[in-house]
Amino acid sequence: MSGTIAADADTAFDDLARRLAARAAALAAAHAQARHLAARRDESRWRRADLVKPLFAKG
């Protein structure tokens, strides 16, 4: 029984790590895009929801 609990904990941790990595990648991509737009002095970066709040789904 304890082997099953350990396996479930490993699976849950792996799932958490995958989700956190995906969120980190989304934040990094949004940050890079915002820096690119800032370097071009493009003020549209403040009006783009995908850059202002990159972790919130559209809709």
Distance CA 55, CA 24 (A): 9
Tell whether the model's pLDDT for residue 55 goes beyond 90.
no
pLDDT category at 3 given cuts 50, 70, 90 is low
Residues 11-51 have pLDDT tens digits of 889 999 999 999 999 999 999 999 999 999 999 888 888 88
Tell whether the model's pLDDT for residue 59 goes beyond 60.
no
Reported pTM: 0.72
Q: Is the dihedral angle over the CA atoms 27, 29, 30, 35 positive or is it negative? A: positive
H/E element holding 33?
helix 2-39
Q: How confident is the model at residue 26, as a pLDDT?
A: 92
Distance CA 1, CA 10 (A): 14
Q: Is the dihedral angle over the CA atoms 49, 51, 53, 59 positive or is it negative? A: positive
